[in-house]
Structure 1
Amino acid sequence: MGKMKKVLALLLTFVLTVSLGACGGSTKEETTKDTAQTDATTQAAAQEETTKTSENYEFKEPVTIKFANYAVLEAGYDKFWNDAKKGFEEKYPDITVEFMTAEYGQMLTQVVTWVGGGEKVDLVLGEASWISTLADAGILMPATEAFPAEYLSQIYPSMMDAMKVDGVPHGIPMYASPFIMLYNKALFEQAGLDPENPPATIDEMLEIAPKLAELKTADGNAVYPFGMTTASVAVSGSCLTSLIYGFDGYTLTDDGELDIDNPGFKQTFEFLKEIDDKGYNPQVSKLKDLRNLFALGQLAMYYDQSWGFNGVRSINPDAIDFVASAAPLAGGQGTGESLIQAHTLMMGNNGEAQVEATKLFIQYLLTEDVLIPYLQNVAPGYPSMMALSEIPGITESPVLAGAIKSLDTARSATNVPAINDFNLELAALAQAVTVNDKDVDQAISDFKTAAEGILSN
């Protein structure tokens, strides 16, 4: 099927419910670690060489990059993107960046519509979970065709894994975050705990939880020791998947088949039942509910992605004074693995000049001077370039520093068309063993039946 026919076919059948971070899945392969990481000097030299390749390209006429970017409509993000456009165009006066925009929830559909109608799209900002849809429609250029291996080797392997379709990366991660544990140092101190020594395992967390549960806020509200979202929204399934990974559990095979007959999966829901029975976790909370409790000093620890702290800070700007991060907890036979989600730059292939100009823009965005202020001041996240994670802007960030090693063990998702419905079923399973007090084995059996029906459709 030709590219245009694939796009048009997709338009006829495409219905999407999008939720930030709403992706789940697993691979039984351990996350590939970069056993031969080049040092910062070598990485910088490789990046310089790659940049020279594009900078030496001779543009015979002015080029306009058409950039599909939902964030230019969002307060707090728009300034960064407009400043980035201005700075890039000043550096490369023969290249213009033209924003094509739509609301976040409509952007993926809109990109497919634009291309189906004959509009060229050179670059897309979006979630890693969008890649399979856009690649299947023939819209994306594989990153390995655009960039040399030397440049791609500078990016965290776990982030590049999240870019893959059929083993081939189809995007460049701009920044990313696994689900990490945020905790309140002030509450740790009040409970007589060391704020610089957070728990590393589920057992350690359960050991200190009773001390935190005894605390009250200044106005007499109870303090919850640990928060895990279980509300009926797709992102809850993503967060639960991270907890499953931390127990060395699995949910889906690489081929998208159900894969829950493993100890870690069952142990996850036994744990959720235990903390619910003890009143440690606020029932059926959304992430925004947990962020609110954390901001108000009513929650000692919870799982979130790093940029979720923006929601905390919007409620209580002083939260920056007590927040700290830690790697996800290790349970069972796990080592604290987590699900990674990346904000991604995806390239079209609209001719040599367009590709070279777009490469220059991507490289510009991933430089320290451009990206680090964004991660510090706009959206806390981990830069995709390994060398940038070693600079003070990241290593001294209270939101990022404590969990930075989690990037080495993070897993990517198996993306299937029914992933949102699958994640909702994971949330329903969590509610079954907590709110409904259902036997864990029976609840898992019921989940298996429902999930297999979803995945087979």
Structure 2
Amino acid sequence: MSKMKKVLALLLIVVLTVSLGACKSSKKEEPKADVTTEDGEPAGEEVSESDGEYEFTEPVTIKFANYAVLEAGYDKFWEDVKKGFEEKYPNIKIEYMTAEYGQMLTQVVTWAGGGEIVDLVLGEIPWIPTLADAGLAVPVTDAFSEDYLSQIYPSMLEATNVDGVPYGIPMYASPFVMFYNKDLFEQAGLDPNAPPTTVAEMMEVAPKLAALKTADGNPVYPFGMTTGSVSVSGSCLTSLIYGFGGSVLDADGNLDVDNDGFKQTFEFIKELDDKGYNPQVSKLKDLRNLFALGQLGMYYDTSWGFNGVNSINSTAKEFIASAAPLSGGAGKGESLIQAHTFMMANNGEAQVEATKLLIKYILTEKVLAPYLQNVAPGYPSMSALSEIPAITESPVLSGALSSLNTAKGIANIPAINDFNIELTSLAQAVTVDNKDIDTAINDFKTSAGSILGN
């Protein structure tokens, strides 16, 4: 452990010891419920003090680390959340503490080093190991009742696990799904309502898409799979590996790639490259650009990736459709789940109870549905909201709804970002460098094993 981390750890032990002691003194049970209503209350029940609702005797301010309040398109939603929540709970205020997306996690840890631990963080699943390791996130089972947590899709909640314990409440999530261009399918003589479901089917239709040209003579790539040297590309590759029935890490975060599905994935990546079907070393932003411009027939992305497509071509909703991830080899089309997730600290009972109310308020149809429909398409974590029109009538979401049932997570380890980039290096080795697949995998096992310490 580094000197800086030791200092931080000592500070956190002092702070959390005090706050945990305060929290244990008068913890109350939540009222039980099967579903949440639009007001964030348990359905069919009137919540009162006698039902166990926490009574706030003094004003409370929730310190909420949220990078999205700085981003155009998202800022208004979060300002509306603040306004609506504070009107509903006048004794509770929200203080947004923010930084750019790429700096948010580091900033949260830095604030803690100075003695200021935020109550709530909106972030990505890969942030969880860092926050949990630093003592800045606590298991959600310590705060929420079993009944409330049972309303969340199990795959989404499990994706936040550290050592088998969930440390986050997903706001909304998405597996990596397959987007396809219905207009290009029609131009190629394919049924726009019957996308391929397997890798073999996709490779059968790919030549027809590859034969197309755009109006200005640019080529059309049949299928896009990101292999650029960024962490999210590694996550996307993991999703593809799952679809082939393969694995990358075991439950303890150890390397687990000696399986057919892993090798078959990179054989597929190489075949795509050899046939010119996939743009080389592309990042998701590159694939979104090509898709928006009508130069890409199909590609893997998260549901909120549509925002990038739509920002380039505002008519994208007219030709975009989604489908479940492809199955290959002995796989069943499983996918890696991604989620924008709430992570909460324990700064004392009042802070925890206020933060719970805020999370519950956001995860209601009244608040969340307009966000998913107009701001960032995604699948709500609360299973009771799966049939709302914002989901079932969305061209971005409806076609891939079944993928939630087969999506799964990955071991949450601090080195996951570096590991993901090693996966992209493997993909580049068998495409750009034209390296033998077995040799490339052995090289990957050496470098990845060093990163993981095994």
Q: 1:161: which partner in 2?
A: 158
1:315 to 312, 315, 335: 312
Is the counterpart of residue 47 in structure 1 residue 39 in structure 2? no
Deviation per residue, 1:351-404 (Å, 9 max, x gap): 211111111111100010111111111111110001111111101101111111
Q: Distance in 1 between matches of 2:48 and 2:207?
A: 59
Deviation per residue, 1:387-438 (Å, 9 max, x gap): 1111111011011111111111111121222222221221111111112222
Is the counterpart of residue 411 in structure 1 residue 403 in structure 2? no
2:343 to 341, 346, 349: 346
SS of structure 2 residue aligned to 1:43: coil
Is the counterpart of residue 176 in structure 1 residue 168 in structure 2? no
Is the counterpart of residue 448 in structure 1 residue 445 in structure 2? yes
Aligned letter for 2:291? F
Q: 2:270: which partner in 1?
A: 273
Shift of 1:53: 6.9
Is the counterpart of residue 401 in structure 1 residue 393 in structure 2? no
Shift of 1:350: 1.5
- Report if the CA contact (8 A) 2:36-2:364 is conserved: no
Q: Describe how 1:181-260 pairs up with structure 2 within 5 A.
A: 181-260=178-257
Moved more, 420-429 or 212-221: 420-429
Aligned letter for 2:226? T
Q: Mark the CA change 1:245 to 1:7 in structure 2 (over 3 Å): closer, same or farther.
A: farther
Q: 2:356: which partner in 1?
A: 359
- Report if the CA contact (8 A) 2:34-2:148 is conserved: no
Instruction: Give structure 1 stretches of 5+ with no counterpart.
Output: 12-40
Aligned letter for 2:60? V
Deviation per residue, 1:274-294 (Å, 9 max, x gap): 111111111111111110100
Aligned letter for 2:78? W
Aligned letter for 2:333? G
Aligned letter for 1:48? A
Shift of 1:56: 3.1
- Report if the CA contact (8 A) 1:245-1:336 is conserved: yes
SS of structure 2 residue aligned to 1:215: coil
Q: 1:18: which partner in 2?
A: none
Q: 1:326: which partner in 2?
A: 323
Is the counterpart of residue 85 in structure 1 residue 77 in structure 2? no
Q: Distance in 2 between matches of 1:228 and 1:66?
A: 39
Aligned letter for 1:43? V
Deviation per residue, 1:147-192 (Å, 9 max, x gap): 1111111101011011111111111110011111000000011111
Q: Distance in 1 between matches of 2:35 and 2:73?
A: 31
Q: 2:96: which partner in 1?
A: 99
- Report if the CA contact (8 A) 1:6-1:138 is conserved: no
SS of structure 2 residue aligned to 1:349: coil
Q: 2:25: which partner in 1?
A: none
Is the counterpart of residue 298 in structure 1 residue 301 in structure 2? no
Moved more, 344-353 or 364-373: 344-353
- Report if the CA contact (8 A) 1:51-1:363 is conserved: no
Aligned letter for 1:186? D
- Report if the CA contact (8 A) 2:172-2:381 is conserved: yes
Q: 2:56: which partner in 1?
A: 59
Aligned letter for 1:157? P
Deviation per residue, 1:230-258 (Å, 9 max, x gap): 11222211111110010011111112211
Moved more, 47-56 or 353-362: 47-56
Q: Distance in 2 between matches of 1:287 and 1:106?
A: 20
Q: Distance in 2 between matches of 1:232 and 1:433?
A: 14
Aligned letter for 2:8? L
Q: Distance in 2 between matches of 1:441 and 1:383?
A: 40
SS of structure 2 residue aligned to 1:390: coil
Deviation per residue, 1:32-86 (Å, 9 max, x gap): xxxxxxxxx9434893379937883221111111111111111111111001000
1:438 to 431, 435, 438: 435
Q: Describe how 1:18-29 pairs up with structure 2 within 5 A.
A: none
Shift of 1:120: 3.6
Q: Mark the CA change 1:50 to 1:206 in structure 2 (over 3 Å): closer, same or farther.
A: farther
- Report if the CA contact (8 A) 2:59-2:91 is conserved: yes
Q: 1:31: which partner in 2?
A: none
Deviation per residue, 1:93-133 (Å, 9 max, x gap): 11111111111111112112222222241111111111111
Q: Mark the CA change 1:7 to 1:207 in structure 2 (over 3 Å): closer, same or farther.
A: farther
Q: Mark the CA change 1:103 to 1:80 in structure 2 (over 3 Å): closer, same or farther.
A: same
- Report if the CA contact (8 A) 1:328-1:336 is conserved: yes
Q: Distance in 2 between matches of 1:47 and 1:216?
A: 54
Deviation per residue, 1:429-448 (Å, 9 max, x gap): 11111122222111111211
Q: 1:21: which partner in 2?
A: none
Backbone CA RMSD of aligned residues: 2.2
Deviation per residue, 1:292-341 (Å, 9 max, x gap): 10000000000011111111001000111000000110000111111111
Q: Mark the CA change 1:367 to 1:223 in structure 2 (over 3 Å): closer, same or farther.
A: same
Q: 1:20: which partner in 2?
A: none
- Report if the CA contact (8 A) 1:7-1:115 is conserved: no
Aligned letter for 1:369? K
Shift of 1:456: 1.7
- Report if the CA contact (8 A) 1:181-1:303 is conserved: yes
- Report if the CA contact (8 A) 2:34-2:151 is conserved: no
Q: 1:8: which partner in 2?
A: 8
Shift of 1:221: 1.0
Q: 1:134: which partner in 2?
A: 131
TM-score, normalised via structure 2 length: 0.90
Instruction: Give structure 2 stretches of 5+ with no counterpart.
Output: 12-32
Q: Mark the CA change 1:163 to 1:347 in structure 2 (over 3 Å): closer, same or farther.
A: same
Moved more, 66-75 or 433-442: 433-442
Q: Distance in 2 between matches of 1:60 and 1:9?
A: 32
- Report if the CA contact (8 A) 1:10-1:137 is conserved: no
